[in-house]
Structure 1
Amino acid sequence: MLFLYVLQAFLGLGAIAGGVMLIIDPSGSLMGMPADTVLKRSPFSDFLFPGIILLAVFGLFPLLVLYGMVKRPRWAWADALTPFKELHSTWTLSLYVGFGQIIWIMVETYIMNAVSLVHVFYMSLGLLIQIVTLLPSVQRFFLLPPGRGFHTADDQSMRAASR
């Protein structure tokens, strides 16, 4: 579990830093990415909106997911977004973070019409978040106690078998 926590924290903190830098300087010069060349194939003229998305979706959201994985609050909004009712909703949100990261990097490389080592790293980070989230030991960790999720007789027998 600790490794998944570290992955979510690394993504969140890094995206907060990147998002804030893009918001402070939407021209991209602070990060060495001139908007006029990097964003040629995008609908954006500067990095303000991408910076806001980076800050909120890949900065704050993974840290919220991390908080949820540690504290396990009951969030109705998160419960509504998960098809896996026998697992705590933050397990599903962790998968969503991984999917989102992969999609973000794919779109970014399309817009930039280039792939760099940083893209490969962050694409791999998204995939690694998904792989670790899908590990059976991680799934068992996020199983809800009886009565907190949707449980059938088969769910109960699977829970007993996994212990």
Structure 2
Amino acid sequence: MERQKAVRWLGGTLAVAGLGTWGLSLPGLLLRPRVRRVEMGGIVTLEDAVAACERTGLRGWELVAYAQRLVARKFTAYSLRNPWDTPARAFERGMGFCLQYNPALQQLLRRLGVEARLVHAFRVRDVDNPRWKWGHAWLKVRVGGEERDVCAGHPDNTPGHTRFEPVTPVHELSPLAAALSRFGSGLFGGSLEWWTVLTGRRPGLTFAPRSAVSISGLAGPEAAPVVPGRAHRTMRRLLGGLCFLSGVTASWGGVELFGWPEGGAPGFTVPLSVLEHTPFRDFFVPGLLLFSGVGIPNLVAGALALRRPRWSEVFAFGAGSSLTVWIVTEMAMLRSFHWLHGLYLAVGLGTQATALWLWRHEAPMTRHS
């Protein structure tokens, strides 16, 4: 029994942590530009970059400098909105931060036969802005017995000459530590994005194009506004309908559960035996959670979706996520499947997809109006 309780608590803790991570990441995921691949002179993947470097015929530090400039120019934007991308994937997308573009450069150099170590310092000083001090990761590259600092964070960097100075001890960064650091950076970036959502102020630390060139949506606020047409209006009505369907039925079901915790609501009798594999003894807490965590948010999201205030799609996406998580958790705890589970799982996923579609297609107008 004690072991079962420990497993349940561990599962609940992981579920809460997962939901918290997803919640923090939500604005960044929706704000992330729709860039799948960025091409630069025929170079898309790291394999393309390796071939391009080999064609130059360069050797030694000249080859390292060429690879560093190539990676620096391939990353057209500094971004904390895609921390889950691997270095290779971030290289293809052309956006990322130091724990993505420098590991991408490390992989490139190693394929070229050059020794490179990933290192980091908890604080570095920017030579162009001495007041700016933050954590940073870069490479220690060794060629012919000589080791130099190399960083793809700026095209003007050269091997041995970077635009920053470490002010705390430098340590080597293992792949596991780099992955955990990317995870932490994602949470940090997500908290900054939520700051933007709640205050309307752009912190300027989560996404910044490195050039004025518009590449598949990286143009920023200057992008032409999109005027909603018939398809947009239809999708918005669909979003409102899905949210209201979830909100009304979840609110009513929640009231029946916590109002009659023994499962004896008029016309809605549920035996307590279905809770055998859950931590609940009656339906009071599940009903309260269903009412407050799924029903009310979806009702509010439905109203917001029809009134079209800023960020209504974000709230609707979150409400749809709450329904999806509820259904998946319910099926796991009850260890059973009912056709209503499939129906409402489809409603939750449909709400998320519709909100994301509206965000993508109306974002220039709603965010920059």
TM-score norm. by structure 1 comes to: 0.73
Q: Give the distance between the partners of 1:2 and 1:60, measured in 2 at CA.
A: 19
Q: Give the distance between the partners of 1:32 and 1:104, measured in 2 at CA.
A: 20
- Structure with the bigger percentage of helix: 1
Aligned residues: 131
* Deviation at residue 72 of structure 1 after TM alignment: 4.4
Q: Corresponding residue for 1:140?
A: 361
What's the C-alpha RMSD, in Å, of the aligned pairs?
1.8
Matched, 1:4 2:242: no
Q: Corresponding residue for 1:104?
A: 326
Partner SS for 2:261? coil
Indicate if the aligned counterparts of 1:91 and 1:139 stay in contact, CA closer than 8 A: no
Gaps of 5+ in 1: 74-87, 148-163
State the identity %.
26
Matched, 1:51 2:287: yes
Q: Corresponding residue for 2:343?
A: 121
Q: Give the distance between the partners of 1:124 and 1:72, measured in 2 at CA.
A: 24
Q: Give the distance between the partners of 2:311 and 2:367, measured in 1 at CA.
A: 13
Q: Corresponding residue for 2:257?
A: 22
* Deviation at residue 71 of structure 1 after TM alignment: 3.0
CA displacement 1:34-58 (0-9 Å, x = unmatched): 12x1111111101111111111121
- Structure with the bigger percentage of strand: 2
One-letter amino acid of the structure 2 residue matched with residue 129 of structure 1: T
More relative contact order, 1 or 2 (CA 8 Å, 6+ apart): 1
**Equivalences for residues 12-91 of structure 1 within 5 A:** 12-30=247-265, 31-35=268-272, 37-73=273-309, 88-91=310-313
Gaps of 5+ in 2: 1-235
Of structures 1 and 2, the larger Rg is shown by: 2
One-letter amino acid of the structure 1 residue matched with residue 305 of structure 2: M
Q: Give the distance between the partners of 1:133 and 1:69, measured in 2 at CA.
A: 9
* Larger deviation, residues 108-117 vs 62-71: 62-71
Q: Give the distance between the partners of 1:10 and 1:146, measured in 2 at CA.
A: 31
